[in-house]
Each structure stands twice: as C-alpha cells, then as structure tokens.
Homo-oligomer: A and B are copies of this chain.
C-alpha cells in the first residue's frame, strides 16, 4: 500500500567551505548587540512529501533526490528525518 512520508531535509555547507552568508549574519547580530551569539552557519531546509510503499523505499528516494538535485555534494552535506504522515 502506498503511504505518504514527510522528509525534512537539511542541506549545510561543509565545514571547510567559507560561509559568507553566515559571516554576514554574525556581523549583523554583533551590531544588534547580541555578543553572546557566535558562529552562524546558514543552510537550506527542504520539506517534501514522498508517496511510497515502505519507509525504506522513501529513504532511498530521499537520498537520491538529496544527492542529485537538492545538494551539491562537492560543497554541501545533507541529512534528513523521515516520518510517516498519519
């Protein structure tokens, strides 16, 4: 039976890659007076619904689309949580 699964995917820059947007946020926070906040890093958050027969199959699809479309494997890492929709 086909069931809907929600995938919550986070795509982040690899630690070795300079995060320019993150640096800008750090500066802005300092300027706003938030001196206790440090090391901001900015990534993408993607939510998709996957209709598949099993969690394993949904996981396979989620890995594939993350690698092929949603992230750039040279510069970015991804991780996801997958759960069945009730």
Tell me whether A69 and B36 are in contact (CB under 8 A).
no
List B contacts of A2 (CB < 8 A).
36
- Give Cα A2–Cα B61 distance, bound, in whole angstroms: 43
- Give Cα A39–Cα B29 distance, bound, in whole angstroms: 33
Which of A42, A44, A48, A65 has the most chain B CB atoms closer than 10 A to its own CB?
Answer: A48
List B contacts of A68 (CB < 8 A).
32
A28 at the interface (CB under 8 A from B): yes
Tell me whether B39 and A69 are in contact (CB under 8 A).
no
Out of B38, B44, B48, B64, which one reaches A44, CB within 8 Å? Answer: B44
Tell me whether B69 and A50 are in contact (CB under 8 A).
no
- Give Cα A44–Cα B50 distance, bound, in whole angstroms: 20
